[in-house]
Amino acid sequence: MRAPLSTSARLLHLLSLATLSSSQPILDQLGRHAQFLVAHRIEGGSLVLLVGVLLLAIPIMLFAIEQALGFVSERAQSGFHLTCIAGLTALLALQIFTRLPAIGPWPTLLLALLIGIVMSRIYARNQAARTLVSLSGVIVILAPIVFLTQPTVAPLLRAAQTDVQDYGQAFGYPPASVPAQHGDAHTTASSLPTLDTDAPIILVILDELGLPTLLDREGAINRHRFPNFAYLADRASWFRRTAAIAAETQLAVPSILTGREPKPKALMTADSHPESLFSLFANSHELWSFEPASSLCPPALDREEHNRELGGWAALAGRWGRLLTDLSLLSLHQVAPPAWAERLPPVDQAWAGFLHTEAPEGPSAPTAARFFFRKAVRATLVDRREDLERFLDAVDQSHGPTLHMLHLMLPHRPWDLLPTGHRYPIPARTPGTTRNRWNDDPYLLRQAAQRLTLQLRYVDTFLGRLFTILERTERFDSALIVVTADHGSALHPEVNPRDLSPATTPEVVPVPLFIKAPGQKEGRIVDRAVSSVDILPMMLQALEVSAPWHFDGKAMLHAGEHTLLPFYDRDDQRHDLTTEIFAGTQTIVSRNLSWLGEGADPLDLYRQGQDGDLIGQQVDTFARPGPSHWQVSLEHPERLENVSRAGPTLPVLMTGHFRSPQGETALGSLAVALNGTVAAVVPIEQVPPRAWIPITALLPPDLLTDGPNEVEIFEIRRRKRVRLRRVTLVTG
């Protein structure tokens, strides 16, 4: 730089460029998707602190390094400052160029770096350029003001200022004293209604579960796979024609908890939905609300939130650690070229906890080049089982009238849980998907259904544990138990899993709904059409109490049904659906059973498809004439070298790559053998010669043994009898 810059000018320039290239884009994303903040419990002072961190963390860190280098030499300080200017400018340019699909990832990166270097040279030589950077410093003030005053964000800034009395007055109740007690007592709000009931209330809202997944060929609950769902159906009123109110969680869950149709622009907060299940029972019940994606129960009334606060600094650090990790991943998606962003864990399948899965490891194929941030995201910070375990502990330890509400983010993707509770390592992107749409690959669609079923069986196990606790504590008979789901998800190619179309509607709209009233001992099947917006009115009907306000839903526990069912699609558009939407349910059930079998035999789940009959058979029973010329490269073969069934994970999803190096187009099937038993069959269809293609195989966990597990792969040849040719395993 020709003229030395003052210390304040250096700091201002770092602040302005860091805001333009990093902070402001993230604030823009958060402003358009404020539900992310709700899911992370960021409101009031926490929101102001977050804005401060986003604006100041990077420039202050760079400025501190720059000042330290000043003690070494002025040249080192100046050089580092120019490097920062180049890097921040390149970061800004990268976000512009990644929107241009015609440019590949490496040219995009090199072009952004070139612009950064050129701009830093101009900055060093031209006073007008430095003045322009100084003037752009106004963004440091404007960015947080614009963000905090947005209609989607401003309510969060005010939310922490709302106490229990304000909450009661928000819907017309007079102010009253609010004694706050802890220990065995609970925070009360005498300005809220008091309902004359002391029955325990259990509400479980599952996520992304369509009704057909639970059913057998006769339209009943599949008892082989889901015995605890079946047990509930035997004791509860099962509404077999229940329609979800919306395709998106942020609309569906508030409607279930309020009995009102969705408010598309509203956040999932108590401030936006003051009249809810929680306000109804605040004075009669101790409230326990487990909401990973929302904050519909006011923190002042929520014992679960109180327990979180008792976690002290460790709990606070964990919450902020997850928040900043999710923000880092959002930033990577913001700057990464599309080809590289596809390799990152997705940020469009949940509102928080994006790093459920392992980041991609190793080359995408044995011959592929490495790319620069392959190992940038390697963590598993969020475990959905934590909410489940805390919920069960709360139910077990609670006494007196209690309301326990759990929004369980299962069986929602990512599918990484086995019925036993073991997790299994999975790729960052679900095999068979591109940009959150299923590809037209029957094998991978079937594998998706297998993995969904395994995860749903884990949910079934959870229900069994819940029922055991309630029966042991003699509360099952007297409790109101409601189990439902917010919406379904379709396994259909070339469309978003939650699109509303003739093909997807039977999987997206029909959801399970079980309501066991206090004292109910016999189950009944109700085939009258109802909506999930009716759930809260029907809960009150089961308790024989009434609400002091109006619901959009109807109390139809004993009579009545809808002729038109309201449904809000992914674009928040309202549709009136006819009851014909339930006509396609059995078609989906038949498809699922063709993919997965009836479930009477544990291996039924794996035996479907071409050559599925080989699974479970010993490889020694087949002729093995000479080796195959096919090749397979396995990813992470070390995972099978020291398996512990007592540990937290089991490596049941095998991934790798396949090729036919001899020059012909490959066509056939691979048999994956585990410890001498055929464990999976992978179809190979029209693979170009010498090209590496990805393959995945789901292995039955019962075939894994403690210690080392031997994997063999064979080419399947069928003529008069099955022959297995050993495939060469290569490392790459």
Task: Specify the pLDDT at position 495.
Answer: 86
Q: Which amino acid is at 71?
A: F
Q: Which amino acid is at 222?
A: N
Most confident of 39-48, 267-276, 408-417, 664-673: 408-417
Contacts of 674 by beta carbon, 8 Å cutoff, 6+ apart: 699, 703, 704, 709, 710, 711
Q: Would you call the peptide bond into 411 cis, given omega within 30 degrees of 0 as the criterion?
A: yes
Matching CATH number, 196-292+384-588, of 3.40.630.10, 3.30.420.40, 3.40.50.800, 3.40.720.10: 3.40.720.10
Angle 697-361-92 (CA atoms, 0-180°, nearest 5)?
Answer: 130
* Cα–Cα distance for residue pair 86/705, rounded to 1 Å: 54
| Beta-bridge partner residues of 717 | 723
Instruction: Quote the tokens at residue 30.
Output: 């958060």
pTM for the full model?
A: 0.79
Residue type, 407: H
- Lowest mean pLDDT across 146-150, 208-212, 479-483: 146-150
Compute the Cα dihedral for 20, 22, 25, 27 and give only its sign.
Answer: negative
Residue 662 pLDDT class (50, 70, 90 cuts):
confident
Read off the pLDDT band of 728 (50, 70, 90): very high
* Those residues with Cβ within 8 angstroms of residue 487's Cβ, 6 or more apart along the chain or in another chain: 208, 210, 244, 246, 247, 248, 249, 252, 498, 508, 509, 511
> Which of 59 and 97 is assigned the larger pLDDT?
59
Q: Note the pLDDT tens digit of each residue in 635-650.
A: 999 999 999 999 999 9
Could you give the dihedral angle defined by the CA atoms of residues 508, 514, 515 and 519, in that order, rounded to the nearest 10 degrees?
Answer: 180
Which residue did the predictor score with more confidence, 566 or 437? 566
Whole-angstrom CA distances from 398 to 159, 200, 222, 394, 665 are 28, 10, 32, 6, 64
Sorting pLDDT into bands at 50, 70 and 90, what band is 178? very low
Whose structure tokens read 């290569």? Answer: 730
pLDDT of residue 382: 53
The CATH 3.40.720.10 domain(s) of the chain lie at: 196-292+384-588
How does the average pLDDT of the chain come out, rounded? 85
pLDDT at 171: 42
Q: Is the pLDDT of residue 6 over 80?
A: yes
Q: For residue 307, what are its two tokens?
A: 């327990």
Q: Is the pLDDT of residue 368 over 80?
A: no
Please give the share of the chain, as a percent, with pLDDT higher than 70: 85
Report the C-alpha gap between 518 and 516 in whole angstroms. Answer: 7
Domain 606-730: top CATH class: mainly beta
Tens of pLDDT, residues 436-494? 889 989 999 999 999 999 999 999 999 999 999 999 999 999 999 999 999 999 999 98
- Does the pLDDT at position 372 exceed 60? no
Give the pLDDT band of residue 97 (cuts 50, 70, 90). Answer: confident
Instruction: Answer yes or no: are the C-beta atoms of 421 and 389 closer than 8 Å.
Output: no
What pLDDT does residue 364 have?
Answer: 41
Mean pLDDT confidence for 184-196:
56
For range 623-639, the mean pLDDT:
89
For residue 411, the SS3 value is strand
Lowest pLDDT segment from 128-132, 428-432, 442-446, 565-569 = 428-432
Burial of 651-678, coded b for 16+ CB within 10 Å and e otherwise, reads bbbbbbbbbbeeeeebebbbbbbbbebb
Residue 373 · residue 332 · CB < 8 Å: yes
Q: Pairing between strand 631-634 and 653-659?
A: antiparallel
Task: Name residue 410's amino acid.
Answer: L
Which of 184-188, 462-466, 600-604 has the lowest average pLDDT?
Answer: 184-188
From 470, 459, 548, 550, select the one nearest 516 (Cα to Cα): 470
Residues of the chain with CATH 2.60.40: 606-730
Residue 305 or 477, more confident: 477
Is-contact 268 243, C-beta < 8 A? no
Dihedral class, residue 572 (left if φ above 0, else alpha if ψ from -120 to 50, else beta): left
Q: Which residue in 210, 207, 232 sits closest to 589, CA to CA?
A: 210
Instruction: Give yes or no for residue 278 having a pLDDT over 50.
Output: yes
Examine the pLDDT at 590 and tell me if it is beyond 90: yes
Contacts of 390 (CB under 8 A, 6+ apart): 290, 304
| Pairwise CA distance, residues 288 & 163, whole Å | 18
- The rounded distance, in Å, linking the Cα atoms of 90 and 357 is 30
- What pairs with residue 205 in β-bridges? 407, 484
Report pLDDT digits (tens) over 530-553: 999 999 999 999 999 998 889 999
Opening angle at CA 456, ends 216 and 588, nearest 5: 40
Q: Say which residues have a Cβ less than 8 Å from residue 295's Cβ, sequence separation at least 6.
A: 38, 41, 43, 159, 268, 269, 270
- DSSP letters of 442-501? HHHHHHHHHHHHHHHHHHHHHHHHHHHHHHHTT-TTTSEEEEEES------BTS-TT--S
pLDDT at 342 over 80: no
Most confident of the ranges 47-51, 182-186, 308-312, 504-508? 504-508
